[in-house]
Each structure stands twice: as C-alpha cells, then as structure tokens.
Amino acid sequence: MDIIAGFSHGLLVALQPENLLYCFIGVTLGTFIGVLPGIGSMAAIAMILPLTFYLEPTSALVMIAGVYYGAEYGGSIASILMNIPGTPSSSITCIDGYPMARQGRAGVALFASAIASFGGGMIGMVVMAVLAPVLAQLALNFGPTEYFAVILLGLVAASAVSNGSPVKGVAMVVAGLMLGTIGVDITTGAERFTMGIPELRDGVSLVIVAMGLFGVGELIVSIKANASGAHQNQIDYRQFYPTRAEWKAMFAPILRGGGIGSFFGALPGTGQTVASAVAYAVEKKISPARARFGQGAVEGVAVPEAANNSATQTAFIPTLTLGVPGSASMALVIGALMIHGIVPGPRLLVDHSDLFWGLVASFLIGNILLLILNIPLIGLWVRLLQIPYKYMYPTIIVLICVGVYSINNNVFDVWLTLAFGWAGYLMRLFRFEPAPLLIGFVLGPMMEEQLRRAMLLSRGDPSVFLTRPISGVLIVLTVVLLVWSILSALRAKRRMRGAMRSAE
Amino acid sequence: MVFPISAPKGPAMPSVISFFQRLQKAEDTASPPHAWLGALGGVALLALSVVFIWGGIALGVGSPRRLGTGAFPVLTGLALALLSVAIIFMDLRDTSDAERPDWLAFAAIGAALMVFAASVERIGLVPGVFLTVIIASLPDPSLPWRGKLLLGGIVALGCWGLFIGALGLPFDAFKGI
C-alpha cells in the first residue's frame, strides 16, 4: 500500500510542468546523444551537469535520468540502421537488428526496439519501487564501518567486473580515490596537493573530470571511427508495424529480458552491457526461434533492448539507497545530488521522499515520451544520422568549452578539461578504462570520511572491519569477487592464447 | 518511406589538408608501437603513487585512532604502487597489437581547447568560437576550407544567439584586440 501511495504522490511531483519539461528535455537530449555513435550518455550527462546546478534537485535528477535512459533508446537506432552501436550497451542489438535492416525490416526492428525498451523500462521501474525501500530499511542500521565496507565492495565490483583487465580497473579506482583528495581536507582544513593553485582549493570539479575524460577523450577517439564508419546508403521501410505473430513472439522475451536486466542493473558493476549480453545469451538457449538468432530475429532485438533499459532504471537502486553507484553515470548522479546538499543513502527515501518517488514516476512519463519520440518521430532521428560527423564534432567541442567555462567563468577550468581530455585519450590507448576512475573520484571523499570515523570509533583498531558481522561479510565478498575476477580474466587470456596458437 | 543516407564524398583538397592527410596515412602505415611502450601507462601510475605517498607523509599520517590529513593519500598511494608494478609486468608480457593512436585528432582537439581558453576573454566569444571550430575541424580532410570557414561562422553566430542572446551568459561577443 505504501508503494502505491508513494507512487501516486510521485506522479503528482513528476507531472508538475517544470519537471515534465526537464524530463522531456532530458529524454530528447539522451536520444540525440544516443543516436550519435561514439559519444555515450556519460558525455551528455557531463554536459548538462552545470545546467542542473540551477535547477531544483528533483528536476535535476529527473533530467539526468532522462538523458541516461533516453540514450538507451537512441543507441539502438544506430545499431539497427548502421551496425554501429550508438551506446556500448546497444552493441548486442546489432546482432539481430542490422540483419533485419538489411532484409528491409528496419522499421519493424526500430518499432520492436522501442516497444521492448518501454516494456523493460516499466519492469525496471516496478522493481525499483518495490526493492529500494526494502534495501533502504536494511541499510538504516549501517554505521561508518559498514559504510566503508559497502563502498569498498561497490568500488571493487565496479572496476573488477568491467570489461578489460581487472587489475587495471582497480588501479583506476585507486587513482580516482587519490584524485578525490586534492583540495582542502574537510576534517583538518589543510590543503592537499593543490600546488598553490587557488582554483584547486575546492578540489577538482566533477564536471571537469567527467567532461575531460568522457567528452573530450571520447571525441578524439570518435573522429577516426566515424570517418571510416560504414554508412549504409539507403534505408528502406517496407513495413513499420510488426505483424500479430511478431507481437506475440516479442511478448515473453521482453518479460524475460526485463527481468534479467533489472537484476544485473541493480548489482553494482554489471550494468546495461552485461545485462543485455546475458539476456541475449539466455534467450538464445531457450527461445523457440533460437535458430533464427543472428539472422534477423525480432526476439533478438527485443531481448537486449528490454534488458538494457530495465537495467538503466534499477541502477538507481544501489545509487540512491546506499550511495554506491554501479557505473560512472550513476557516480555523476551522486555528484549532482551532493552539489544540492543531498547525500544519497538510506535516509534519502525518508528525508527526500518527493525526490525518490518523483524520480520513479518520471520513469513512467519519460518512457511514454520516448515511445512518442521513437515511434511517430523516428524519421527525425534517422535524418540526424545523415548529418555528417565532420559538422557535428567541432560543434560539440565548442559546447564543451562554453559549458566548462561557464561553471565559474574561469579559463583555468578549460585548461584543466584539456588535461583530463588528453589523459582520457591516453588511458584508452593504454587500455585503462576511465569509468572506474570517475567512480573512485566521486566516492573517495565519502570513503575517507567513513574510514576516519570508523577508526575513531574503534579506537584505532582496524580489525572491526572484519569482526562486525555485516562489514565482515561485505569485506569477504569483496575479496572473493576480486580473486574470482582476476582468475577468470587469466583464464580468458590463456584460452585466447591457446586459440591463437592453434590458429597458427 | 526511403531515407537516403549519403556517404561522405572526397572533395578536392587544398595543400594544407592534403598535408594532414599524408600525415594521417603515414601514421596508419607506421609499424605498431613496441611492447615496452605499452608499459608506460603503468610507469606513469607508479610515478603518481610515489608523489602521493611522499606528499601524504609530508602532510602527516596521524595515528590509527586519528588518521591525519596524509593518511588516505598514503594508503591509496601504496595500493596504487603495488597495482602499477603488477600492471607494468602484465603490459611487458602483453604482445597483442596496440591500438593505433590518432595523434592528429589528439593534437587538433587539444589545440582547439587551448585556442578557446586563450581567446575567449581576450577577443570575445564570437571570434573565439570561430577559431575553435576551424582548429577542431582540421583533422577531417573531407571538409574543404570553405566548409570549415562556413561551419565556424555558423557555430559562432549560433553561440552568440544562444549563450549571449537567449541565455544571457556573461560573455563579451567581441572585444578589442
């Protein structure tokens, strides 16, 4: 009953004209960015972050969330039409979406992906409304020791499970934690690593780190990728609406995909890409149409889209109830809330229930808006793909420059963004993922504060982290996860080497 | 419904751009970087961790009960030092092909940000944005000079209208040189 009361209250909040407007702006911008290959939702969220400083916290959160799941809708458009994933998590959609487009069924594929995204989003929303209050209730008894352990688990999960080397991922998280110490130490008031630069006294701005690593860094990568991208010359829509048989074929896969997606979305570290990959793999095993998978099965488009969209909604569960983001985008959500003085955690549901339920209800509204944007207005986005990238990226660079400069009207911020942009490109070159660094950067100050408090309470005895039951379990879980991910990475490498040897 | 998507065509190129194109081609055909170069990332991280350990000790680590200002930097620094040593060894043994860097885009995008930072408060937003667009579009040889100038002009005027006209941000459109 509580949930229904909360949700209907949230609906009132989300339907306020202001929130409705920002929800609309968010999902439109998200779709726009999602359609463009090469730049993901991270860059988009980083770009609107300065704007959210001036909004009400609820409007800000609704808009950021809109960009986040809007990008999932948009990402599938480029996947289906051009075989280039607009966002990393829609890469699975290419497998069946692009063959469908080649067979002249692009319209059906786009329709199926929009409907599946909507279905997945709704499943994710319900899971969030039911699960988040339970988790928050559980976390209310957490002290600093438990918090430190939860943050540690979240950081390790987010870095070790991500694609690429787990050791490099953890190294990036630690580097992010270190980056977070720059500025004035809130406990003692001493300056740390500011090198006497007054602009660094308040620490490095989250917007600059995100805009540099993701905006500028990704843009440098995308120039070459888009210049040589295989553009399809003609897209033919013989038919847009699925047949009755196709509707029926999609229904169960959407439910399964949404279920799998909401599970992986809520786990820290896995996120949409893992969710859609697992959902597709499961569906390929159990679907009656499995023989057609990879050759343009409508189920193969519906499943990953339902999964990645439900995962985008449930990713907010650990972020808002524990304050532990599972991905870099969620770290930005935490950063945006903290700028408004709201600390995500179990108290958030009680102290800011407007914000929480408003967000949940905005998922419903945003997904309906996206359905409108993606079904009747699909032609608009297809036309967007026709704009050559050579006009696009210089414009985006200017928007980044103006955005960063306008935070403080300070040129220093532009220089710092340049430094992070170059660093972001070099990190990709040396196969370091920038996402864990951002997560570490956001959680670093929180982690340090909890560590200091826990040590003070235990009178300097570090063994409390293991002897207190909840934190002990969490620490053991962290170690197990770390060992398991390193072992499985080693095994994958050995298998690859073996495959290469047998190929020679 | 049929939506035509035009593939980029290769127009005639002035000499500066064809120079860039030749540079790009040279880059594309260059031999892959040496394996030891791949370990530079780990070395950079090791250097960073040394800075933080050293700086943290200088700030004071305090006692276990009252962790000092430098305690967290030292702890994270130690962790990163261990990890980066492991990464250096991993990268030295990794013989797979490294990604081909696009130094041209790296330099041009960097230069574009520098130009914006250097110009916006000196000559104003409109000429600053114009120059930024020109520099940023240099690595794409498929856009002829006329197109670059035109794009620069359109984006500059657009920024004038949007940021100064509509949003009222405190920019000077033009400033005395």
A118 has a pLDDT exceeding 90? yes
- The two three-digit tokens of residue A184, written as one number: 């004035």
Residue B68's identity, in one-letter code, is: G
Distance to chain A for B148, nearest Cα, Å: 9
Chain B CB within 8 Å of residue A461 CB: yes
B-facing residues of A in 437-456 (CB < 8 A) are 444, 448, 451-452, 455-456
Residue A422 with chain B: CB contacts under 8 Å: 106, 110
Q: How confident is the model at residue A234 (pLDDT cuts 50, 70, 90)?
A: low
pLDDT in tens, A407-465: 888 899 999 999 999 999 998 888 888 888 988 898 888 899 889 999 988 888 888 88
Q: Within this chain, do residues B125 and B73 fall inside the same structural domain, yes or no?
A: no
Number of domains forming the structure of chain A? 1
**Which of B59, B92, B116 should one mutate to test binding to chain A, selecting the residue with the greatest count of A CBs within 10 A?**
B116
Q: Give the Cα separation of A158 and A171 in Å (integer).
A: 12
Residue B90 with chain A: CB contacts under 8 Å: 165, 167
Helix extents (H) in A36-85? 41-52, 57-82
Short-list A216, A106, A169, A181, CA closest to A444: A181
Question: Between helices A106-139 and A57-82, what is the axis angle to 10°?
Answer: 140
Average pLDDT over residues B4-13: 39
Selecting from B51, B139, B147 the residue whose C-beta is nearest the C-beta of A223 gives B139
Task: Look up the domain containing B153 and give its range.
Answer: 103-166
Selecting from A235, A388, A414 the residue whose C-beta is nearest the C-beta of B113 gives A414
Centroid of chain to Cα A467: 34
Buried b (16+ CB within 10 A) or exposed e, B60-75: ebbeeeebbbbbbbbb
pLDDT in tens, A130-164: 999 888 888 888 888 988 998 898 888 877 766 67
Residue B83 with chain A: CB contacts under 8 Å: 167, 170-171, 174
Average pLDDT over residues A73-93: 81
Residue A431 with chain B: CB contacts under 8 Å: 41, 99
A488 has a pLDDT exceeding 60? yes
Contact flag B113-A397 (C-beta cutoff 8 Å) = yes
Q: What is the DSSP secondary structure assignment for residue B37, as one 8-state letter?
A: G
Contact flag B64-A394 (C-beta cutoff 8 Å) = no
Percent of all residues in chain B with a pLDDT value above 70, rounded to a whole number: 76
Q: Give the Cα separation of B99 and A220 in Å (integer).
A: 13
pLDDT in tens, A259-312: 999 988 888 767 787 788 888 888 888 888 888 888 888 888 999 999 989 999
B12 has a pLDDT exceeding 50? no
How much is the mean pLDDT over chain B?
Answer: 79
Q: Give the Cα separation of A74 and A69 in Å (integer).
A: 9
Selecting from B55, B118, B129 the residue whose C-beta is nearest the C-beta of A398 gives B129
Within-domain flag for B27: no
Asked whether the beta carbons of A449 and A146 are under 8 A apart, the reply is no
B-facing residues of A in 343-372 (CB < 8 A) are none
Number of domains forming the structure of chain B? 2
Residue A426 with chain B: CB contacts under 8 Å: 41
A503 has a pLDDT exceeding 80? no
Q: If you compute the radius of gyration of chain A from its CA atoms, what whole number of angstroms results?
A: 22
Q: Give the Cα separation of B139 and B101 in Å (integer).
A: 13
Percent of all residues in chain A with a pLDDT value above 90, rounded to a whole number: 22
Of A119-123, B2-6, B87-91, B110-114, least confident by mean pLDDT is B2-6
Q: Which comes out higher in pLDDT, residue A328 or A240? A: A328
B14 has a pLDDT exceeding 50? no
Chain A CB within 8 Å of residue B6 CB: yes
If you measure CA to CA, which chain A residue comes closest to B143?
Answer: A390
Q: Within this chain, do residues B89 and B108 fall inside the same structural domain, yes or no?
A: no
Selecting from B73, B99, B102 the residue whose C-beta is nearest the C-beta of A220 gives B102
Please tell me the predicted confidence (pLDDT) of residue B99. Answer: 66
Residue B116 with chain A: CB contacts under 8 Å: 398, 401, 405, 414
B34 has a pLDDT exceeding 70? no
Q: How much is the pTM?
A: 0.81
Beta pairing, strands A183-184 & A234-236: unpaired
A68 has a pLDDT exceeding 70? yes
Please tell me the predicted confidence (pLDDT) of residue B11. Answer: 41
Q: Give the Cα separation of A190 and B69 in Å (integer).
A: 7
Short-list A312, A245, A244, CA closest to A274: A312
Q: If you compute the radius of gyration of chain B from its CA atoms, what whole number of angstroms results?
A: 24
pLDDT in tens, A102-115: 887 888 888 899 99
Say which residues have a Cβ less than 8 Å from residue A389's Cβ, sequence separation at least 6: A36, A38, A222, A223, A226, A227, A229, B140
Of A327-331, A343-347, A496-500, B136-140, least confident by mean pLDDT is A496-500
Average pLDDT over residues B61-82: 89
How much is the mean pLDDT over chain A?
Answer: 85
Please tell me the predicted confidence (pLDDT) of residue B152. Answer: 93
Residue A227 with chain B: CB contacts under 8 Å: 8, 140, 142
Q: Within this chain, do residues B109 and B128 fall inside the same structural domain, yes or no?
A: yes
Within-domain flag for B108: yes
Residue A232's identity, in one-letter code, is: Q
B-facing residues of A in 185-244 (CB < 8 A) are 185, 187-188, 190, 192-193, 216, 219-221, 223-224, 227, 231-237, 240
Asked whether the beta carbons of A430 and B90 are under 8 A apart, the reply is no
Q: How confident is the model at residue B93 (pLDDT cuts 50, 70, 90)?
A: confident
Buried b (16+ CB within 10 A) or exposed e, A320-334: bbbbbbbbbbbbbbb
pLDDT in tens, A370-381: 998 888 888 888
Please tell me the predicted confidence (pLDDT) of residue B114. Answer: 95
- The two three-digit tokens of residue A104, written as one number: 């002249």
- Residue A83 region by backbone torsions, left for phi larger than 0, else alpha for psi between -120 and 50, else beta: left
Short-list A105, A83, A495, CA closest to A292: A105
Please tell me the predicted confidence (pLDDT) of residue A230. Answer: 44
- The two three-digit tokens of residue A129, written as one number: 């409304």
Paired residues of B3 in beta bridges: A235
**Which of B17, B113, B115, B151 should one mutate to test binding to chain A, selecting the residue with the greatest count of A CBs within 10 A?**
B113
Within-domain flag for B123: yes
- Write down the ipTM of this complex: 0.81
Residue B20's identity, in one-letter code, is: F
Of A130-134, A339-343, A391-395, B34-38, least confident by mean pLDDT is B34-38
Residue A235 with chain B: CB contacts under 8 Å: 2-3, 5
**Longest pairwise C-alpha distance within chain B:** 72
Report chain B's terminal Cα–Cα distance, integer Å.
53
Q: Within this chain, do residues B84 and B109 fall inside the same structural domain, yes or no?
A: no
Q: Give the Cα separation of A218 and A205 in Å (integer).
A: 19
Range among A43-57, B12-26, B76-90 rated most confident: B76-90
Please tell me the predicted confidence (pLDDT) of residue B61. Answer: 83
Distance to chain B for A413, nearest Cα, Å: 9
Average pLDDT over residues B73-91: 92
Chain A CB within 8 Å of residue B45 CB: yes
Report chain A's terminal Cα–Cα distance, integer Å.
64
Please tell me the predicted confidence (pLDDT) of residue B27. Answer: 55
Range among A84-88, A284-288, A413-417, A491-495 rated most confident: A413-417
Please tell me the predicted confidence (pLDDT) of residue B98. Answer: 61
Task: Look up the domain containing A155 and give its range.
Answer: 2-230+239-503
If you measure CA to CA, which chain A residue comes closest to B81?
Answer: A171
